[in-house]
């Protein structure tokens, strides 16, 4: 049996709008992945620790407050410090094109903007996760 992909769905920053995060969490679960949802208002440190504890292959960050340029780089930095560079980081939310390009350059695997299809997100994660041998 192929082990299930483990995903941490995280809400970073002060924003409490969790509709998207919850819908994505359910869609990934329905697609057969193991999903851990952090709940609201997680600091970058809390998110990276949760990813470590839960031994996930993917972190899905939901940010709708415009604070992505401050929060995402900090998470990537912490992942590098903890030698967790192999964790796939995807971001969803209201991220303008220019910012999305910058985030990808820093190491974010994909940015899903409003209107992204659930199926496309599932397919991207399935196609990108390095399965353990």
Partner 1 sequence: MVKTTLGEIPVEACYGPEHMRGDAPPLPGQFPYTRGIHPSMYRERLWTMRQFSGFATPEETNQRYRYLLSQGQSGLSVAFDLPTLMGCDPDDPAALGEVGKCGASIASLADMETLFDQIPLGEVSVSMTINSPAAVLWAMYLVAGEKQGVSWDSLNGTLQNDILKEYIAQKEYLYPPKPSVRLVTDVIEYAARHVPRYNPVSISGYHIREAGSTAVQELAFTLRDGIEYVEWTLERGLPADSFAPRLSFFFNAHNDFFEEIAKYRAARKIWAETMRGRFGAKDERSLKLRFHAQTAGCSLTWQQPYNNVVRTAIQALAAVLGGTQSLHTNSLDEAYALPSEEAVTIALRTQQIIAHESGVTSVADPLGGSYYVEALTAEMEERAVSYIRKIDEMGGMISAIERGFPQREIAEASYRYQRGIETGERVIVGVNQFEREEPESIPLLRIDREAEETQVRKVRRLREERDNERVRAALDAIRLAAESKVNTMPQILDAVRVYATVGEICSAFRDVFGGWTESSIL
Q: Does 50 bind partner 1 (CB under 8 A)?
A: no
Using the minimum distance from each CB to partner 1, give the nearer residue, 59 or 133: 59
Q: What is the DSSP string of 63-132?
A: E-SS-HHHHHHHHHHHHHHTT-TTSEEEEEES--HHHHHHHHHHT-SEEE-TT--HHHHHHHHHHH----
Q: Does 71 bind partner 1 (CB under 8 A)?
A: yes
Both tokens assigned to 79: 């992942």
Q: What gap in Å lies between CA 94 and CA 133, rounded to an integer?
A: 36
Q: Does 93 bind partner 1 (CB under 8 A)?
A: no
By the 8 A CB rule, do 99 and 69 touch?
yes
By the 8 A CB rule, do 8 and 102 touch?
no
Q: Does 40 bind partner 1 (CB under 8 A)?
A: yes
Contacts of 19 (CB under 8 A, 6+ apart): none
Please state the closest distance from residue 71 (CB atom) to partner 1, in A: 6
Residues 2-21 touching partner 1, rule: CB under 8 A, are 13-19
Q: Does 126 bind partner 1 (CB under 8 A)?
A: no
Please state the closest distance from residue 86 (CB atom) to partner 1, in A: 26
Q: Does 32 bind partner 1 (CB under 8 A)?
A: no
Q: Which residues bind partner 1 (CB under 8 A)?
A: 13-19, 22-23, 25-27, 29, 35, 37, 39-41, 43, 65-71, 94, 96-97, 113-115, 117-119
């Amino acid at each position: 049996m192929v082990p299930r992909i483990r995903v941490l769905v995280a809400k970073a920053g002060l924003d409490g709008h969790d509709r998207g995060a919850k819908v994505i969490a359910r869609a990934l679960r329905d697609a057969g992945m193991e999903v851990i949802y952090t709940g609201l208002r997680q600091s970058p440190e809390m998110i990276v620790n949760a990813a470590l504890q839960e031994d996930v292959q993917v972190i899905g960050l939901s940010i709708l407050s415009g604070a992505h340029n401050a929060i995402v780089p900090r998470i990537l930095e912490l992942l590098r410090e903890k030698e967790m560079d192999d964790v796939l980081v995807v971001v969803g939310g209201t991220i303008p094109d220019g910012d999305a390009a910058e985030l990808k350059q820093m190491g974010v695997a994909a940015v899903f903007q409003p209107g992204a299809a659930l199926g496309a997100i599932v397919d991207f994660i399935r196609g990108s996760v390095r399965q353990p041998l």
